[in-house]
Amino acid sequence: MRLITALTLATLPVLALAQPIDAAKSQIGFTMKQLNVPVDGRFKAFNANIDFDPAKAAAGRADITIQTGSIALPTRDAEGEAKKKEWFNTTQFPTARFVTSSIKPLGGDRYQFSGKLTIKGTTRDVSAPFTAKSTGGQTLVEGVLPISRTAYKIGEGEWADDGTVADAVQIKFKVALNGK
């Protein structure tokens, strides 16, 4: 019982700082190329614990967990394929996770995050620019994170070759943070 209480108390500071997101205005999507044709997709379910104040960017942090089984693609067949072992293996790896290690201001409404992205049990350091604009009591955070799908073992076996599905994937995120 003490261990559970200690773990609960240890997470309180992070949860107390987290800003609620407006799920209706937030999304995590991606663009990949199949046979050199862009294909857009998104994840319908994700949780985000974010604390970000543009005036104190360096103190900001984000911890985002994506439900990989919530993938949405242009067809049901494509969604079913993406959940298989060769792709996201959603049975063994039901979530992907991103956690920031730093955020720095670049000037204006532009910032740069660095952190760790874990997909399908593989963790890599990532970094990308983003914008943060405050309007109407919300801060809209938007950006694009380029990744290599094969670095995360997305598309194994015959799909590891990038002749059919390109290796480069653009993760596009838009998160609406409610005011602090």
Q: Specify the pLDDT at position 46.
A: 96
Q: The domain containing residue 111 runs over which residues?
A: 19-178
Question: Do 167 and 149 touch, CB atoms closer than 8 A?
Answer: yes
- Residue 5 falls within a domain, yes or no? no
Q: Specify the pLDDT at position 15.
A: 38
Q: Specify the pLDDT at position 180.
A: 55
pLDDT over 90 at 8, yes or no: no
Q: Specify the pLDDT at position 4.
A: 35
- Residue 7 falls within a domain, yes or no? no
What is the sign of the dihedral through the CA atoms of 126, 115, 140 and 96? Answer: positive
- Residue 6 falls within a domain, yes or no? no
- Residue 45 falls within a domain, yes or no? yes
- Residue 12 falls within a domain, yes or no? no
Is residue 73 classed exposed, middle or buried when 0-12, 13-18 and 19+ CB atoms within 10 A define those classes?
Answer: middle
Q: How many domains does the chain fold into? A: 1
pLDDT in tens, 135-177: 888 999 999 999 999 999 999 999 999 999 999 999 999 999 9
pLDDT in tens, 28-78: 999 999 999 999 999 999 999 999 999 999 999 999 999 999 999 999 999
**Residue 66: CATH number of its domain:** 2.40.128.110
- Residue 10 falls within a domain, yes or no? no
- Residue 71 falls within a domain, yes or no? yes
* Residue of 162, 141, 134 whose CA lies nearest to 150: 162
The predicted model scores a pTM of: 0.87
**CA–CA distances in Å: residue 175 to residues 14, 27, 101, 134, 153:** 18, 6, 18, 12, 26
